Amino acid sequence: MCGIVAVTGYRKALSLLLDGLEKLEYRGYDSAGIAIVNSENKELVCNKSEGKLINLINKVGQKEILGTVGIGHTRWATHGKPEVKNAHPHLDSSGKVAVVQNGIIENFLELRNKLEEEGIIFKSDTDTEVIPHLINKELNNLKKLNLEDSGSTLLIAVRNVLSDLEGAYALAVLWSDAPDSLVIARRQAPLIIGLGEGEFICASDTPAIVDFTQTILPMEDEEIALLTPLGIELYDSNNERQYRNPISLKCSEQVVDKKNFRHYMHKEIYEQPELTQKWIKNYLIKNSESGLIKVNYSFDTNFLENIERIQILACGTSRHASMVGSYLLEQFAGIPTDVFYASEFRYSPPPILPNTLTIGVTQSGETADTLAALSMEISRREDLKDELCKPNLIAITNRPDSSIGRQISNVIDISAGIEIGVAATKTFFGQLLSFYGLAITFAQIKRSKTDDEINQLISNLENLPPLLKELVDQHNEISEKLAHDFSDIKDVIFLGRGINYPIALEGALKLKEISYIHAAGYPAGEMKHGPIALLEKKVPVISIATPGKVFEKVISNAQEAKARDSYLIGIAPKCDGTEIFDYLMPLPLSDEWLSPLLAVIPLQLLSYHIAAHRGLDVDQPRNLAKSVTVE
Ligand code: M6R
């Protein structure tokens, strides 16, 4: 949420900042801004625009802003409307200090009131603006000490201010009296330093860095750094100087290319068959001696043998994948499993039980709610000092290099490649595959299924890629046509049961996110307990009906909707029972365990085509951001 870029070096800052911001626009696009120290007169030049980055580019792209040190920001609004006055960077009253920030300063009101009492006039409604004013105050105090080095002075001033801030932040600060220096700091929000030769770039995420350098130094929580073209001084919260080796970026995974697709989301849906193929190759490994197929993890899985229950923490689409995971872990692997909204878990966790595995699921690895819930769980378990209750952890993420990858060492990398579309598709699919892997592993450990049953699931997964490829092509065409029928639709109901109930939720979320049509997903059996009151001719019902345990029940529930005049769309194979649907989006006949992996494809494509048909900004839907780094 919000993207930060900051540079110091010898090249013109303007183009580096704009390039970096372009790569971070998925983190927010309510406004954008930059501040650069003019290398001739040493004054700060600040430019901001409302809305997408393109507005800022149109404003400053042709300008000759001389200067090699600068900061930039692309905003997802929290405090204050998406207007120019609330766009970052924010400046102090002297116009010499500029700050960009990601996160929320929770005690900003108290700080603002105090500053206002001292006569400071605020220009924005943001929480961030208190920071430059406080830094300026500190700088004025420090001036009395006549410190020689202006960069170090700025570092001390920022550090002093940080101790007064409550909440989470990643920030970058410029001071025109220290024209080569940048000070950056982080607490519970990501910040990565890219190391060039005689230049540094600092950003919220690696895509902004990858074209600049492959060598990075991710900052740890509570660290602060002074960057000049000559080097980095990095300190921890105790003011101890830190020396760490930088690491290398896996650049192939950061490449951002739309190929011939109009939207990234469309391309990402099409990448799912290949992703599955890659997952099979990386994760389903046959032991050459026993001939047994095991799931291949990058960590030691011995600890899983003692696990008696699982709790999964996630948000949004990741939570929906976790719900399918929970179904597989309970029904296939026989382990009691609960899924929690990470944002709720943190403040109302269940009592601690022994031998529990906690799984954090987040494609970005940066979701503040999920990270905070995991931290809370880790520390309350560590505090107990009971071996049976110790935290057993796994992270499922597309970004092993992210904050969750640093928080948890047992990482299942979904390796879906960078996902640009704000609405998650292929990363959802990758998360599902990871849960199939875990269910197989636990079923093998717990002997909850026979070898034949486990091998059947493995072989069904291995046969999936060509089936998926066909499905994507077929439903791309079907959905494109069907999208026309949704021109006047305002509400859609999605129904599913059992393993496909979470897919109904995901179908509804995708539609809401990118087409702004109200949609709700229900377990089909719940309709009659209330939501059925919503049904009428203009409310289509999309029902997932795949042969298995609850097929007949789902068909009966669909009948109930039909009796209320709803237009019924079935995501179902052509078979006895599915003739009830007014329109069939056909699925191949498959084993029920596999059905979520098939059913989600038509739903993703339908949402995509409805939004594209309406001419909406599919990849950057309003009010959303790809990484939600505020709680
Ligand atoms: O990065 P995460 O998977 O932790 O993100 C969680 C949610 O914010 C995310 O899934 C959100 O719901 C997306 N917009 C889904 O398309």
50: domain CATH number is: 3.60.20.10
Tens-digit pLDDT profile for residues 59-88: 997 788 889 999 999 998 888 888 999 999
Q: Which one of the listed residues 96, 137, 510, 626 is annotated catalytic? A: 626
- Is the same domain home to 491 and 579? yes
Distance of CA 323 from the midpoint of ligand 1 (Å): 14
Going by CA atoms, what residue is nearest to atom 11 of ligand 1? Answer: 316
Residue 314 CA: nearest ligand 1 atom is 4
For ligand 1, whether the C-beta of 431 sits within 6 Å is no
Q: Is the pLDDT of residue 159 over 90?
A: yes
Distance of CA 221 from the midpoint of ligand 1 (Å): 22
Going by CA atoms, what residue is nearest to atom 1 of ligand 1? Answer: 364
Among 1, 204, 312, 318, residue to substitute to test ligand 1 (most atoms within 8 Å of Cβ): 318
Distance of CA 86 from the midpoint of ligand 1 (Å): 25
Q: What are residue 234's DSSP bridge partners?
A: 225
Q: Is residue 467 part of a domain?
A: no
- Is the same domain home to 320 and 202? no
Distance of CA 46 from the midpoint of ligand 1 (Å): 32
Rounded-to-integer distance, Cα 218 and Cα 204, Å: 10
Q: Is the pLDDT of residue 427 over 90?
A: yes
Rounded-to-integer distance, Cα 24 and Cα 28, Å: 8
For ligand 1, whether the C-beta of 363 sits within 6 Å is yes
Per-residue pLDDT, averaged over 17-46, amounts to 93
| pTM, entire model | 0.86
Q: What is the pLDDT of residue 254?
A: 56
- Is the same domain home to 491 and 390? no
Nearest to 133 by CA among 93, 184, 164: 93
- Is the same domain home to 190 and 304? no
Going by CA atoms, what residue is nearest to atom 9 of ligand 1? Answer: 316
- Would you call 379 exposed, middle or buried from its count of C-beta atoms within 10 A (0-12, 13-18, 19+)? exposed
Going by CA atoms, what residue is nearest to atom 16 of ligand 1? Answer: 423
- Give the three-state DSSP class for 591: coil
- Is the same domain home to 477 and 455? no
For ligand 1, whether the C-beta of 370 sits within 6 Å is yes
Q: What is the pLDDT of residue 48?
A: 96
Q: Is residue 301 part of a domain?
A: yes
Q: Is the pLDDT of residue 185 over 90?
A: yes
Distance of CA 424 from the midpoint of ligand 1 (Å): 7
- Is the same domain home to 427 and 480? no
b/e code 445-482 from CB counts within 10 Å (16+ = b): beebbeeeebeebbebbeebbebbbebbebbbebbbeb
- Give the three-state DSSP class for 493: strand
Distance of CA 611 from the midpoint of ligand 1 (Å): 19
Residue 425 CA: nearest ligand 1 atom is 16
Structure tokens at 84: 């120019």
Which segment of 57-66, 155-164, 414-423 scores lowest on mean pLDDT? 57-66
Count of domains for the chain = 3
- Is the same domain home to 455 and 484? no
Q: What is the end-to-end Cα distance of the chain in Å, rounded?
A: 10
Residue 628 CA: nearest ligand 1 atom is 8
Question: Under 8 Å CB-to-CB from 348, ≥6 apart: which residues?
Answer: none
Q: What is the 3-state secondary structure (H, E, C) of 200-239?
A: EEEECCHHHCCCCCCEEEECCCCCEEEEECCEEEEECCCC
Per-residue pLDDT, averaged over 530-547, amounts to 91
- What are the C-alpha distances in Å from 602 to residues 137, 187, 250? 57, 41, 32
Domain boundary among 404, 435, 462: 462
Domain boundary among 217, 248, 279: 248
Q: What is the pLDDT of residue 624?
A: 87
Rounded-to-integer distance, Cα 171 and Cα 415, Å: 29
Rounded-to-integer distance, Cα 288 and Cα 293, Å: 9
For ligand 1, whether the C-beta of 457 sits within 6 Å is no
Per-residue pLDDT, averaged over 185-193, amounts to 92
Residue 427 CA: nearest ligand 1 atom is 3
Domain around 303:
258-462
pLDDT above 90 as % of the chain = 80
Q: What is the pLDDT of residue 255?
A: 59
For ligand 1, whether the C-beta of 620 sits within 6 Å is no
Which segment of 27-31, 268-272, 281-285, 453-457 scores lowest on mean pLDDT? 27-31
Residue 369 CA: nearest ligand 1 atom is 4
Distance of CA 522 from the midpoint of ligand 1 (Å): 20
Rounded-to-integer distance, Cα 622 and Cα 189, Å: 22
- Is the same domain home to 481 and 383? no
Going by CA atoms, what residue is nearest to atom 2 of ligand 1? Answer: 362
For ligand 1, whether the C-beta of 505 sits within 6 Å is no
Max CA distance (Å), the chain: 86
At 251, is the pLDDT very low, low, confident or very high (cuts 50, 70, 90)? low
Contact 365, 398 (CB under 8 A): yes
Rounded-to-integer distance, Cα 207 and Cα 419, Å: 11
Q: Is the pLDDT of residue 27 over 90?
A: no
Which segment of 189-193, 438-442, 478-482 scores lowest on mean pLDDT? 189-193
Q: What is the pLDDT of residue 625?
A: 81
Per-residue pLDDT, averaged over 142-163, amounts to 89
**Residue 570: in which H helix or E strand, if any?**
strand 568-572
- Is the same domain home to 340 and 413? yes
At 627, is the pLDDT very low, low, confident or very high (cuts 50, 70, 90)? confident
Q: Is the pLDDT of residue 147 over 80?
A: no
- Is the same domain home to 622 and 479? yes
Distance of CA 97 from the midpoint of ligand 1 (Å): 34
Residue 626 CA: nearest ligand 1 atom is 14
- Give the three-state DSSP class for 459: helix
For ligand 1, whether the C-beta of 184 sits within 6 Å is no
- Is the same domain home to 340 and 272? yes
Tens-digit pLDDT profile for residues 93-112: 999 999 999 988 999 999 99
Is 626 one of the annotated active-site residues of the chain?
Answer: yes
For ligand 1, whether the C-beta of 629 sits within 6 Å is no
- Half-sphere exposure for 96 (CA within 13 Å, toward CB): 17
Rounded-to-integer distance, Cα 557 and Cα 593, Å: 21
**Residue 440: in which H helix or E strand, if any?**
helix 426-446
For ligand 1, whether the C-beta of 364 sits within 6 Å is yes
Q: Is the pLDDT of residue 398 over 60?
A: yes
Q: Is the pLDDT of residue 41 over 70?
A: yes
Q: Is residue 612 part of a domain?
A: yes
For ligand 1, whether the C-beta of 318 sits within 6 Å is yes
Structure tokens at 120: 């400071």
Q: Which one of the listed residues 2, 46, 202, 315 is annotated catalytic? A: 2
Distance of CA 540 from the midpoint of ligand 1 (Å): 26
Q: Is residue 253 part of a domain?
A: no
- Is the same domain home to 333 and 452? yes
CATH number at residue 288: 3.40.50.10490
Per-residue pLDDT, averaged over 385-400, amounts to 96
Per-residue pLDDT, averaged over 474-501, amounts to 95
pLDDT above 70 as % of the chain = 99
Q: Is the pLDDT of residue 618 over 60?
A: yes
For ligand 1, whether the C-beta of 316 sits within 6 Å is yes
Q: What is the DSSP string of 362-426?
A: ESSS--HHHHHHHHHHHHHHHHHT-GGGS-EEEEEES-TTSHHHHH-S-EEE-------SSS-SH
Sign of the C-alpha dihedral computed for residues 351, 355, 357 and 358 taken in this order: positive
Is 85 one of the annotated active-site residues of the chain?
Answer: no
Tens-digit pLDDT profile for residues 299-321: 999 999 999 999 999 999 999 99
Rounded-to-integer distance, Cα 97 and Cα 136, Å: 7
Rounded-to-integer distance, Cα 486 and Cα 480, Å: 11
Domain boundary among 248, 279, 301: 248
Distance of CA 506 from the midpoint of ligand 1 (Å): 11
